[in-house]
Structure 1
């Protein structure tokens, strides 16, 4: 047997030997770095343990002497502050908050005019708060006024039940409605009205160009864009002057 045969390794054995040597080298490096790593937490451990010892010594001394520990002036102030914070009257004065005054509601039998009432008046009606008061006023501005109390049903959020509870509190004065002058108003203003869509506004504009001036609802009789229902609800809002 030749001595060179003892040092001969196959290709697979050479790979395994190389990997083993790498693992050994990495292990030595890790051990070396870990042993030389400074103890960064030594000082912090001392800081944490020192107050604990002091507290334990204080408690032990108080128990040995049999005397009651007298709190410092700072603890008195803290206890008095806690008492003040939990006092309801002093808390209100400190925060400067005042309770919101409750809105007084109208007595039964009161009638409110829809086209003149502002949000303050509307909130005095039972069942109407700030949100619905603002919505009613906003919708009234878009319409130009209410010609019927039943139009409250069209306000967003007012369902059948809520409408039935509030309809007896209102009236609507038709003379206060702001009408749109058909022969002068622009298409943009016509489209802003809740009862007029884009196609209807465009037809009105085309008819004004063809005829020069519209005289009344007879100009829309043969137009499919305007139904009898449209004429009924738009009549209070359009003027052909």
Structure 2
């Protein structure tokens, strides 16, 4: 088989996988959650998957955050594991216009954005381009969708504009819907902090050794609570 035929065969195979993935997504009754951000997304996905697993059948895809991984998740792994209640997927940006195809295939009910920093400089060049790329996940939400955004990052908070979906925020900001306070991770104690929200005041204790882990922890907690997980299962 020559190189041209091999390429055609490979392209047809990939198209078939995407077709099957779209069908699997259309048939599924699960709640699909996409998480992106320049930092903290893997921790947020892992924590959220762990919390949701105590509330319903959950499939979590972390670190493997490309379009190929999403295709595999939808058409292969979901069929293997049967119907689930939640799918939590980490969406990574490796370059310009890499999140949008994932977002359009995932069709998230919930989009979580942790933060925006300048990454993959050779591809993005400027912070605004990174923010635009991450925003694609939020833009894929339907009118009944939910955006969970970092209130402390103006580039993330700006993603709230222009959408008909519901919005909640988390962070240290006084205006955050899920306000973080009393952050402490003094050795040998691990990270703990207080989360102020409609559900009341939650005292969160984690196994993490550093204060910076408060952000993905708060993102996961806020998302779980918005999805109806009881506060006692989040603490």
Structure with bigger strand share is 2
Which of 1 and 2 has higher RCO (CA within 8 Å, sep 6+)?
2
TM-score strictly above 0.5: no
Greater C-alpha radius of gyration: 1
Q: TM-score, normalised by structure 2?
A: 0.19
Q: TM-score, normalised by structure 1?
A: 0.19
